[in-house]
Amino acid sequence: MPADSNRLEGLLFVDKPSGMTSHDVVARVRRIYHIKKVGHAGTLDPMATGLLIILVGRATKASNFLMSQPKTYEGEFRLGKVTDSQDADGEVVEEKEVPPVSEEQMKELFDGFLGDQYQTPPMFSAKKIKGVPLYKLARKGQEVEREPRFVHIKSFDLLDMNVPDVKFRIAVSKGTYVRTVAHDLGQKLGCGAYLTSLRRTAINDIDIKRAVPLETLQEAPPSQLGRFLIPVHQHVPSHVI
């Protein structure tokens, strides 16, 4: 057990592996550090990997501030199919032939998503309607009306294209569903699309290069766990906490 574990506080930059929920990571960190007060600042879907900010101790007060920061992702989507979850974890519900599309045409499609806009959250999401997460309703085959949310896409760049697979980098505001961007782009192209991979590479000025794999935390001697914690004041204004 880390010395004075109840006094530990700070930000922990974790490189989340695929197959775990953000809450799974929080629970794992809670066990590693033997501290109850642990949270996170921005959900990643189970399929997604990359930067997840974990808040330890008094740092949990900075959750809303950190969640409001812009985020950058790299990922890949596949044209020609639509899934019920808009990503590879869902069931294919529609399949169409992919029309001929050049890199220039794809870049033009990307550019059409830039700026302020309203986006409808997917049914398979943690957003709650009357206290019930949408994904629980979706698993029962229910679909309810969702209020569009205001989002901003700062940049959307084509990294590589080998049809039907398209690699991209995107920088977005809080609350933007990248899989919905992929889905909507597929609808505009007329053949559908779904997200096959996603990695969060940055939250504001915090880069994935600073993140620690969960395995590293699990294998570290208890006396050394404190060294992975980043002081809150380095990334959060003093008035926030």
Q: Which residues are catalytic?
A: 45
Say which amino acid occupies 168.
Answer: F
Contact 172, 115 (CB under 8 A): no
| Beta-carbon contacts of residue 130 (< 8 Å; ≥ 6 apart) | none
| Beta-carbon contacts of residue 175 (< 8 Å; ≥ 6 apart) | 149, 151
Burial of 137 (0-12, 13-18, 19+ CB in 10 A): middle
Longest Cα–Cα distance of the chain, Å, equals: 62
Place of tokens 């044209």: 79
Between the CA of residue 155 and those of 73, 110, 160, what are the distances in Å? 10, 9, 16
